[in-house]
């Protein structure tokens, strides 16, 4: 392994931030960028005074609604570390996009609202992290509001998220009496002055709990802080790095992202303890990040990053070796060698041309339609990276065109937008009906908005009575004779030409399985693996 590759890996951190909606994820994202120097002023979310939206929300519909509905990729440097932050949708309707993003990161910061505590979406996201043993740091946010007791919150986290916690910072006060956070990991207390838009430069640091200045600032809170820290040490014990890296213990930080409380402590600790790029599983075993030969996989595709130019960007996570501009790489699924003249790194929608990229980094590749989520690039090897499934949708609606002369635009638009992975389109086996499946209602609003504004297509969605979509895997038509003969109206093809059975009830699925025993009915698949694999 070259010294350059080794140094790049040691200094690279790739992570994502996840949370229940409105817990403060996008605000925390901006404040991390602010401390990292990637931006100079933050736009307060939903502020009437500041007409600037958050940097990570760049789709027009995101700016209008004040929520994130797609994954943004941002790169910045902090204290000599190359940090890749993948900002995911917080809304539960976009959980599948969040899941795929988790396949491209080494660690996670989970944001919890100190007022509401652990919420339903928090539990679902944490379950996904636990499935992959992803290391998690918890940031308890909004300490500037009148929230719940910190010890009560920690008990709830351990119970509902089924993970041990270890506080590495501790709040002094809460709500109107919130004065700052004590950094247990660094043994310092940082007193911040509220500033929602800029990093406050005048920060006092205390290394001794008996410092007279600390007592002046905190007053009666000083003794309570000492007692709380003694209790924390007694209940939660010593922080062990390996327990965090194995995903069994979650370090906890407290703060207020909106007011810049506790964010710097979180970021400083993150670069010290978060994992660097690791080995990843492929169809031919594990590929280590230190391998000299380049490899990477596509985890996200974004159509119309710039609507005026109709561009498609495939986001590639570099897993090993060095990616180089204008060098030929092997597209494993297509069995073709391709070179890329304009690879880029991103700050949300802003991009910068790059000459090379290393493990852990995310590269944007201009896509002429050759990529699908899960595709692998190598230097000639024929393995595929594993673990990027597509799930059966939960809600189905038929896409109907209001203007019959726009059918070509609609076909093009829905294929492009579903390439991004936020929805799936199923075309009737004998016919042209288009059924769109999602995991949430909000996705239909997003798709309809983007079809109208990016493709000029006036369309509508009408509900249909489908319960589940099952991919049907078979060797010969005789294996699915009963489906073809008696259930042809329920048969569709997905955009990759795989057969899909759309059932109207659980009983209908059971009957189809019973009457077609040689076929496999799958509720999720990995499209680009040579043999379709059933997920447990």
Measuring CA to CA, how many Å separate 182 from each of 53, 156, 190, 206? Answer: 31, 22, 6, 9
In the chain, which segments carry CATH 3.30.70.3280? 390-525
Average pLDDT over residues 184-207: 63
Task: Write b or e for each residue in 136-162: b if 16 or more Cβ atoms lie within 10 A of its Cβ, otherwise e.
Answer: bbbbbbbbbeebeebeebbeebeeebe
pTM to 2 decimals? 0.77
Separation between Cα atoms, residue 452 and residue 429, nearest integer Å: 27
Average pLDDT over residues 240-245: 96
- How many CA atoms, within 13 angstroms, populate the side-chain half-sphere of residue 313? 23
pLDDT digits (tens, 9 = 90+) for 138-180: 999 998 888 899 999 999 999 999 999 999 999 888 887 777 8
In the chain, which segments carry CATH 3.40.50.300? 3-273, 280-378
Tell me which of 527 and 440 has the higher pLDDT: 440
pLDDT digits (tens, 9 = 90+) for 302-347: 765 555 555 678 899 999 999 999 999 999 999 999 999 999 887 6
Tell me which of 31 and 60 has the higher pLDDT: 31
Average pLDDT over residues 511-534: 75
pLDDT band at 89 (very low <50, low <70, confident <90, very high): low
Hey, what are 447's tokens?
Answer: 């798709």
pLDDT band at 94 (very low <50, low <70, confident <90, very high): low
pLDDT at 220: 78
Helix (H) or strand (E) holding 481: helix 481-486
pLDDT for 503 beyond 50: yes
Q: Which fold has domain 3-273?
A: Rossmann fold (3.40.50)
pLDDT for 508 beyond 80: yes
Separation between Cα atoms, residue 448 and residue 441, nearest integer Å: 11
pLDDT at 528: 56
Average pLDDT over residues 352-370: 91
Average pLDDT over residues 445-472: 91
Rounded percentage of the chain residues whose pLDDT exceeds 70 = 83
Beta strands (DSSP E) in 448-494 are 459-463, 468-473, 491-494
pLDDT for 530 beyond 60: no
Nearest CA to 141 out of 171, 120, 121, 168 is that of: 171
pLDDT for 348 beyond 60: no
Average pLDDT over residues 243-250: 96
CB atoms within 10 A of CB 110: 27
* CATH 3.40.50.261 is right for the domain spanning 390-525: no
pLDDT for 289 beyond 80: yes
pLDDT at 45: 34
Average pLDDT over residues 230-234: 91
pLDDT digits (tens, 9 = 90+) for 396-423: 999 999 988 899 999 988 988 887 777 8
pLDDT digits (tens, 9 = 90+) for 96-135: 677 778 889 999 999 999 999 998 878 878 887 887 789 9
- Kindly state which CATH superfamily the domain 280-378 is placed in: P-loop containing nucleotide triphosphate hydrolases (3.40.50.300)
């Amino acid at each position: 392994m070259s010294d350059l590759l080794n140094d790049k890996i040691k200094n690279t951190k790739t992570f994502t931030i996840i949370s229940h909606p409105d817990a403060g994820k996008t605000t925390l994202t901006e404040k991390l960028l602010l401390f990292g120097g990637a931006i100079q002023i933050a736009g307060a979310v939903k502020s009437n005074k500041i007409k600037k939206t958050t940097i990570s929300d760049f789709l027009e519909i995101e700016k209008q609604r004040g929520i994130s509905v797609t994954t943004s990729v941002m790169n910045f440097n902090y204290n000599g570390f190359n940090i890749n932050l993948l900002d995911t949708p917080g809304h539960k309707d976009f959980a599948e996009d969040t899941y795929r993003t988790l396949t491209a990161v080494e660690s996670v910061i989970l944001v919890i609202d100190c007022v509401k505590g652990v919420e339903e979406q928090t539990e679902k996201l944490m379950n996904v992290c636990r499935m992959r043993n992803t290391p998690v740091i918890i940031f308890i946010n909004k300490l500037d509001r009148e929230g719940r007791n910190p010890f009560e919150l920690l008990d709830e986290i351990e119970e509902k998220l089924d993970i041990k916690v270890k506080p590495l910072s501790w709040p002094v006060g809460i709500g109107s009496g919130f004065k700052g956070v004590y950094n247990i990991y660094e043994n310092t207390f940082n007193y911040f002055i509220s500033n929602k838009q800029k990093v406050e430069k005048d920060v006092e640091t205390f290394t001794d709990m008996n410092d007279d200045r600390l007592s002046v600032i905190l007053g009666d809170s000083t003794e309570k802080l000492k007692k709380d820290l003694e209790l924390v040490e007694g209940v939660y014990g010593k922080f062990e790095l390996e327990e965090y890296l194995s995903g069994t213990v979650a370090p906890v930080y407290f703060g207020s992202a909106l007011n810049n409380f506790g964010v710097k402590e979180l970021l400083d600790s993150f670069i010290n303890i978060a994992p660097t790029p690791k080995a990843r599983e492929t169809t031919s075993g594990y590929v280590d990040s230190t391998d000299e030969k380049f490899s990477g996989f596509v985890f996200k595709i974004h159509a119309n990053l710039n609507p005026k130019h109709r561009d498609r960007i495939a986001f590639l996570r570099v897993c090993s070796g060095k990616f180089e501009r204008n060098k030929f790489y092997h597209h494993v699924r297509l069995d073709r060698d391709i070179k890329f003249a304009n690879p880029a790194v991103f700050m949300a929608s802003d991009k910068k041309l790059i000459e090379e990229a290393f493990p852990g980094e995310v590269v944007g590749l201009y896509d002429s339609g050759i990529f699908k989520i899960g595709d692998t690039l190598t230097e000639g090897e024929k393995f595929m990276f594993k673990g990027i499934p597509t799930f059966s949708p939960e809600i189905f609606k038929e896409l109907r065109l209001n203007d019959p002369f726009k059918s070509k635009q609609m076909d093009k638009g829905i294929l492009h937008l579903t390439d991004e992975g936020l929805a799936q389109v199923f075309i009737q086996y004998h016919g042209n009906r288009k059924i769109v499946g999602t995991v949430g209602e909000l996705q239909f609003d997003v798709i309809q908005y983007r079809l109208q504004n990016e493709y000029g297509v006036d369309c509508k969605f009408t509900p249909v009575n489908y319960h589940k979509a099952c991919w049907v895997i078979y060797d010969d038509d005789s294996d699915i004779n009963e489906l073809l003969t008696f259930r042809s109206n329920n048969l569709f093809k997905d955009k990759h030409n795989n057969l899909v059975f759309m059932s109207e009830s659980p009983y209908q699925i059971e009957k189809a399985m019973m009457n077609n025993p040689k076929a496999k009915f799958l509720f999720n698949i990995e499209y680009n693996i040579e043999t379709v694999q059933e997920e447990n």
